[in-house]
Amino acid sequence: MSKRLIVVLALALVVGLTFSAAYAEVQNVKVSGDLNILGVARNQFDLNRGGKGNKNNDSESYFATQTRLRVDADLTDNVLVTLRLINERSWNVQDESNTNIDLDLAYATLKEFLYSPLSITLGRQELMYGNQLIMGNAGAFNIDAPGVAAARLNGLSSDLSVKKAFDAIKATLNYDPLVIDAFYAKIDRNNARGNENDDVDLYGIYATYDINKKLSADLYGLYKNDSSADKNDKIYTIGTLVKASPLTDLKTSLEAAIQLGNMRNAPSASNDKRLAFAFQAIGEYTLSKVKMTPMIGASYTYLSGDKRDYNGKRGWNQMYYNQALNNIAYAIIPFTNLSVLNLKGSIKPMDDVTVALNYGWYRRAKANTSNMLNPATDGDGTWYDGGPGYVMDKKKALGNEIDATITYDYTEDVQLGLTAGWFMPGKAFNTVNRRDATQLIGSMKVTF
């Protein structure tokens, strides 16, 4: 009881200080936002081949609009308030239940809180760290358990949503060149009355040290406590990221992380000890002084898996990643039990036109025969794999994907884009779901 009282009093102090500053004089107000209009055409994301004589064509096509309006208010005494409203919906999806305008961001920042290096940020905010292999997206797409039903996203495929913010409290210590963030986020509150221990909470600390202009090192630790199944599932994630630019046009990074803890919610219904690993290496080289500014790059991503089960104790927990290694794979392949090699490149045939290619070679870290649950839903809220998951064989080859993208900077404020993707399943998928998936997405984004 004493610990709870201390926490309540501390929160009351912070909230009181926040509201006491809320009536301060407004020094500056900035209004900004963006409007993104999408045309989406997807085919065979269920990978289903159909029976003999049945092509079983599964297609999805729609137009959608993503609208965001942001207000930043600079108050006196180092108090800043940020609000951003968002509406995402497919065209002609209009009624009271699915055209809501939601709070995408809503937070206050108290600079020089108690003493100058410390800032406090409270409310719905983005937590994006490093290359976002671990932290970046708390939206409807990155649910904790793929295959568990999620709310329909107003006719928009869930992997295309731009809602990423966390409800969190963050403290930032800026000892330039060392910056340390410590945060707490409420991921899920399952019982509205709050008298049951069935929530999902996240605690973290992330430190970045800029050694010099060409080299930086990050160190982080995260603790996720999932009590949603009335049994605490604890995940400790510890990792490091090093970014280096040894040459003017060369960017490289290397990240490694380990996950420990227990799996009280494991498929075996036992208290398994978690031990999982993640590794990612990225390199990009831009020939800035060459005509058409060609860029070439490569990356390798490894996320450990379990040979016994899709969601076993050796399987990497996706946490709240915000990386699309390839566009279609992002929607149909979960971010665990993966070994992915990406090769990419781009050129600028004109000053305002960029053409890019991205090839991905996908394998599983461990082969098993349990169904693989995809992480995304279509515009009707239906899982792309049909619900029970993709049927898998005990092989590692997941397939290959090629993405081609053209972007045209029409003006400084308007960008037009067209991206095409083709995913070719490998032998890890059973023959009942080994059909190629394709997509074509056109976009127009206006920023103001």
For 81-95, write each residue's pLDDT tens digit.
999 999 998 887 665
CA distances from 62 to 331, 391, 437 (A): 17, 28, 17
Q: In which band, very low, low, confident or very high, does the pLDDT at 191 lie, cut at 50, 70 and 90?
A: low
Q: Which of 417, 399, 397, 398 is nearest to 407 (CA)?
A: 417
Q: Which of the four CATH numbers 3.30.70.20, 3.20.20.70, 2.40.160.100, 2.60.40.10 does domain 26-447 have? A: 2.40.160.100
Are the beta carbons of 227 and 262 closer than 8 angstroms? no
| 8 pLDDT more than 60 | no
| Ramachandran sector of residue 332 (left: φ over 0; alpha: ψ -120 to 50; beta: rest) | alpha
CB neighbours of 44 closer than 8 A, spacing ≥ 6?
Answer: 57, 58, 59, 435, 436, 437, 438
CA distance linking residue 272 with residue 253, whole number of Å: 33
Q: Model's pTM, two decimal places? A: 0.88
| 156 pLDDT more than 50 | yes
CA distance linking residue 93 with residue 99, whole number of Å: 7
- Residues found in the chain: 448
In this predicted model, what pLDDT tens digit does every residue of 369-386 receive, in sequence order?
889 988 888 888 888 988
Q: In which band, very low, low, confident or very high, does the pLDDT at 5 lie, cut at 50, 70 and 90?
A: very low
| 143 pLDDT more than 70 | no
User: Higher-confidence residue: 14 or 412?
Assistant: 412
| pLDDT score at 265 | 55
Q: Is 273 exposed, middle or buried (0-12, 13-18, 19+ CB in 10 A)?
A: exposed
| 63 pLDDT more than 90 | yes
In the chain, where the domains are located: 26-447
Residue 378: CB atoms within 10 Å:
23
User: Higher-confidence residue: 148 or 282?
Assistant: 282
